Structure formats: structure tokens, C-alpha cells
């Protein structure tokens, strides 16, 4: 298939960017979106032009690096996927595809389609951990009884890969689905109880400090999340936050 | 709890609590107004009670005014903050793919309701306050229904009211369940609550529209 691509080009974090049009031809419908980008970059390199910078690592839907907003949606029009899992069969021959980096003040663009998501790392550092006694008397985690329901919900929350699609899709650039998932994966398990109060307070404080917007429950994050993280995690974080503030 | 209401989640709670209060108020406002259709005498009696009872006048009325002002002011503050959280906008954004129109346009439905409230206060609340507190007239035996009937004689006013309640319905279609999600209520009852919220968001504004049309065409 032959396509027209409208791609955001930006030299570096300080420069102003703009949309630039490119044509690609003979794209197979079996290619992944990133493979199509590889074809374009090869074309650009052969023509002596600067290739388009985009983040990618595993190309298996796990690393969450791709940060592309394709035709007005995070990771494109398909559901439950990252960009590397988006196939060109989702598009038609002759289509024009708009490709932009994830947009949020807390995710500044570094170059072309690459954004800086270290704000997520700082939120994690603020409380996304547990302390484990490693003196030699550590209890085997499997020996602690945990209900199936709680274990399943904690595992569901833990599947969040921190890709930032929630922030990119949210009209308010809110990070509450990400933070909700990170709070939930510990809040549901006994190992997470020791720091429970400080965790939610510190992670929410860091989230607010980073300049993310406020959640207005549009649900866009849940729909666009490649791992299907549910809004229940935001509700749980809200309950945890209230209870942590009451406890002091 | 010192920093609670300064945090993004604390503000969500505050918006939701003011929304709960306003939704309860709306329900009791409707329950009284519908009396004007079925029993004018009862409508006058309840209106007299609401207009003269000290608990309603000096405690609930200021709380209501605070709730209304807080909900609007905080709504605008959050909207500005949220817009600032994305400095460069998307060249192409397909919001309809993942969220409802109502959820993405709460600020516009809210602004329409705010505009209507200025109009509505000028129609009913201001004349009532002037009559009661400035002119000092006795409220005993006052014909509240007559004022309602006179007001709804004007077809333009009726049109404005109908339009305003359409916007109120759109606001509630997202707002009702959003308020529950904000206070952390997302559980096995959420599905049922969503259905109830939808019914509330459609039936209550529809009821207000019916009242306005009834008085316009029946008198």
C-alpha cells in the first residue's frame, strides 16, 4: 500500500517543531507500524536526510517506549496494543496518517517522536516500592496467604508498563491511571501495607508536582491503555489517599 | 488532612461532594416544582414553607449558594490547570474514539448552566429576596404559582429553559457517575448505579422541561 505520512519533526527539546509530509510506497499490510517507520527511515537515510527519531526497544508490546499518537489516538486505532503491535492492515491504501509524539507538559519532546517520561520514574521513586527484610529470615512470599481476588487484581494493576498512553489520551494530561495502578499493585498485597500511607501521599504529591492535569473521569485512559488497566485503580487510589490523609 | 484539599485528588473529592449536594438539591427542587402542575395549593404551601423557614433560609440557602459557587469556581480553576498541562496541542485528536462528548465538554455544559442560573435567579430568586427582605412584604397567603404562570407566558423564556435543561442533562450524564468514581466508589454496584445515573440525568431535566411547557400551554 502507498501512504502519506504527516510526521512531527523537532530538532531537539529547545527547537520548535512542525508537521512534515512524507510518502511511503509498497508497504506490506503485514508489517508492524514500527517496521513501516523503519522503511521510511531507510528511505530518508538513502536520500541523505535526517531519519525520524522514535523510541523502541522490545518490539513485543512490553517496553512501552513507543510514545506515538497515531491518527488522533495513543498507539493508533487498534485496542490493547502498543505501536509495535499495530499492523498496517489497520490502514487502507492511499491513507494519510498523522503521527505525533505523546503530548503533555510533563512529557517534554526530546526529538521528533521521542518524549522524556522521567516524570513517571520520579513518581515511582516517591513510593513505588516495598521494604523487605533481607537479614536471612525473610519469609517466603508464597507462604503468605492472599485471596485469589486480591492477587488477581494486584497482578492486573502490575501489568502497567508505564508507557504513558493514559496521559497522552487524557484531555487533561492526567497521570492518575498510571499512579492508580502503581498504588493498587501494592495496596492489594500484605507486603505493601508497611508503606501504604506514605506511598499514596508521596506518589500523589510527586504526580501533582510534575504538572500532570486533574482526572475528570472521561475514561479515555482505560480505553487506550495497552494493558487494559481499569478505572477501578483510580477509585482505589482515591480511597487510599483519603484514608492515608485521615490516618495522618 | 492539611494538604488534602490542595491535592489533585482532594479537589476531586471536593468537586464530587459539591456535586452530590447539588444533585440532591435538584431532586427536591423538582419534587416541589412538580406540585405546581398537579396541586397549585400544595405548591404554594410548600413554597411558603421554603421561603420562610429559618433553617432553610439562613442555613440551607447559604450552604446551597456556597455549593453552587464552589462547584463553578473550582470547575473553572481545574479546567485552566488542565489546559495548561498540555502546552502544545495535538494536530489530530480523535477524542470520540475513547470518551463521550459529555465527558469532554463538561466546561461548556457547565458554562451554559451558569448562564441559565443568572437568568433563573433574576426570574425567581431576586424578586423573592426583594419582596421579602427589601420591601419587607408579608409572605402569608402569597400566590407563588401566579408568578410561575406569568413567567412561563413568554415563549422565549420557555425556550431558554428547555435549552438549559438539555445542557443540564448532558452535564449530569457524565457528572452523576463521575462524582461516584471520584469518591472511590467503583465496585459491584457501579453498573446499577450507572443505569440509575442515566435515568436521573434524563428524567429530572425532562421533568423540569415538562413543567415549563405545561405552564406555557395551559395558562
Positions of CATH 3.10.20.30 in chain A = 3-111
DSSP A48-95: TPPPPP---S-SSS-S----EEETTEET-SSSS--GGG-BGGGS-TT-
Lowest mean pLDDT among A36-40, A130-134, B130-134: A130-134
The yes or no reply on domain A3-111 and CATH 3.40.50.150 is no
Q: Choosing among B11, B88, B170, B182, which should be mutated to test the A contact, i.e. which has the most A CBs within 10 A?
A: B88
A chain contacts of residue B92, beta-carbon cutoff 8 Å:
6, 71-72, 98, 100
C-alpha span between B158 and B3 (Å, rounded): 45
Answer whether A72 sits within 8 Å of B89, measured CB to CB.
no
Residue in this structure with the C-alpha cell 513507543, named with its chain if needed: A66
Chain B, 172 to 191: residues with Cβ < 8 Å from chain A are 174, 177-178, 181-187
pTM of the full structure:
0.95
Residues 6+ apart with CB under 8 A from B130: none
Query: CA-CA distance, A7 to A54, in Å (whole number)?
Result: 11
pLDDT at A193: 93
- ipTM for the assembly: 0.94
Check pLDDT > 80 for residue B2.
no
B187-212 burial: b if 16+ Cβ within 10 Å, else e: eeebeebeeebeebbeebbebbbbbb
Q: Are A8 and A113 in contact (CB under 8 A)?
A: yes
pLDDT at B145: 96
> How many angstroms separate the CA atoms of A180 and A238, rounded?
8
A121: left (phi over 0), alpha (psi -120 to 50) or beta: alpha
Taking the alpha carbons at both ends of chain B, their separation in whole angstroms is: 55
The architecture of the domain spanning A118-247 is Orthogonal Bundle (1.10)
Q: Is pLDDT of A50 > 90? A: yes
Tell the residue number behind the cell numbers 415549563, with chain if given.
B212
> Which residue, A83, A71, A79, is CA-closest to A38?
A83
d(CA B49, nearest CA chain A) in Å: 38
pLDDT given at position A135: 84
**Are A218 and B97 a contacting pair at CB < 8 A?**
no
| Closest Cα in chain A to B83 | A172
Q: What is the pLDDT of residue A133?
A: 80
Q: pLDDT tens, B115-143?
A: 999 999 999 999 999 998 899 888 888 99
Residue B58 contacts A where some CB pair is shorter than 8 Å = no
Partners of B4 on chain A (C-beta within 8 Å) are 242, 245
**What pLDDT does residue B126 have?**
94
Helix residue ranges, H only, chain A: 33-46, 118-127, 148-158, 165-169, 176-187, 196-209, 220-224, 232-247
List CB contacts (< 8 A) between A241 and chain B: 7, 9-10
What's the mean per-residue pLDDT of chain B? 96
Lowest-confidence pick of A57-61, A69-73, A128-132, A157-161: A128-132
Amino acid at each position: 500500500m502507498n501512504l502519506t505520512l504527516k510526521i512531527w519533526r523537532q530538532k531537539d527539546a529547545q527547537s520548535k517543531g512542525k508537521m512534515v509530509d512524507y510518502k511511503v510506497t509498497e508497504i506490506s499490510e503485514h508489517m508492524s507500524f514500527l517496521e513501516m517507520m523503519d522503511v521510511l527511515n531507510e528511505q530518508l537515510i538513502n536520500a541523505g536526510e535526517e531519519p525520524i527519531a522514535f523510541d523502541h526497544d522490545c518490539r513485543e508490546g512490553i517496553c512501552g517506549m513507543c510514545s506515538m499518537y497515531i491518527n488522533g489516538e495513543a498507539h493508533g486505532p487498534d485496542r490493547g496494543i502498543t505501536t509495535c503491535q499495530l499492523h498496517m492492515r489497520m490502514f487502507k491504501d492511499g491513507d494519510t496518517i498523522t503521527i505525533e509524539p505523546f503530548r503533555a507538559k510533563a512529557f517534554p519532546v526530546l526529538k521528533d517522536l521521542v518524549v522524556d517520561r522521567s516524570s513517571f520514574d520520579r513518581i515511582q521513586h516517591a513510593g513505588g516500592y516495598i521494604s523487605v527484610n533481607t537479614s536471612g529470615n525473610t519469609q517466603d512470599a508464597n507462604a503468605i496467604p492472599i485471596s485469589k481476588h486480591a492477587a488477581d487484581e494486584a497482578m492486573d494493576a502490575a501489568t502497567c508498563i508505564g508507557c504513558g498512553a493514559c496521559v497522552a489520551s487524557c484531555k487533561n494530561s492526567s497521570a492518575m491511571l498510571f499512579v492508580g495502578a502503581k498504588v493498587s499493585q501494592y495496596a492489594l498485597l500484605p507486603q505493601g501495607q508497611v508503606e501504604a500511607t506514605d506511598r499514596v501521599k508521596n506518589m500523589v504529591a510527586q504526580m501533582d508536582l510534575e504538572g500532570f492535569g486533574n482526572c475528570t473521569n472521561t475514561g479515555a485512559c482505560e480505553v487506550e491503555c495497552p494493558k487494559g488497566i481499569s478505572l477501578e485503580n483510580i477509585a482505589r487510589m482515591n480511597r487510599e489517599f483519603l484514608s492515608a490523609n485521615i490516618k495522618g | 488532612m492539611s494538604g488534602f484539599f490542595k491535592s489533585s485528588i482532594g479537589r476531586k473529592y471536593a468537586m464530587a461532594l459539591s456535586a452530590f449536594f447539588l444533585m440532591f438539591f435538584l431532586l427536591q427542587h423538582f419534587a416541589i416544582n412538580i406540585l405546581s402542575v398537579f396541586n397549585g395549593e400544595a405548591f404554594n404551601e410548600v413554597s411558603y414553607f421554603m421561603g420562610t423557614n429559618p433553617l432553610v433560609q439562613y442555613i440551607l440557602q447559604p450552604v446551597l449558594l456556597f455549593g453552587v459557587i464552589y462547584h463553578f469556581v473550582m470547575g473553572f480553576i481545574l479546567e485552566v490547570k488542565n489546559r495548561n498541562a498540555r502546552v502544545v496541542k495535538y494536530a489530530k485528536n480523535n477524542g470520540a474514539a475513547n470518551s463521550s462528548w459529555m465527558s469532554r465538554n463538561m466546561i461548556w455544559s457547565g458554562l451554559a448552566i451558569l448562564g441559565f442560573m443568572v437568568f433563573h435567579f433574576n426570574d425567581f430568586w431576586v424578586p423573592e429576596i426583594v419582596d421579602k427582605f427589601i420591601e419587607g412584604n408579608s409572605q402569608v397567603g402569597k400566590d407563588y404559582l401566579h408568578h410561575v404562570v406569568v413567567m412561563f407566558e413568554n415563549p422565549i423564556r420557555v425556550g431558554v429553559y428547555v435549552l438549559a435543561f438539555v445542557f443540564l442533562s448532558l452535564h449530569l450524564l457524565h457528572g452523576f457517575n463521575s462524582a461516584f468514581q471520584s469518591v472511590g466508589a467503583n465496585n459491584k454496584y457501579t453498573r446499577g448505579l450507572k443505569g440509575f445515573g442515566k435515568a436521573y440525568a434524563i428524567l429530572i431535566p425532562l421533568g423540569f422541561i415538562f413543567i415549563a411547557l405545561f405552564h406555557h400551554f395551559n395558562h
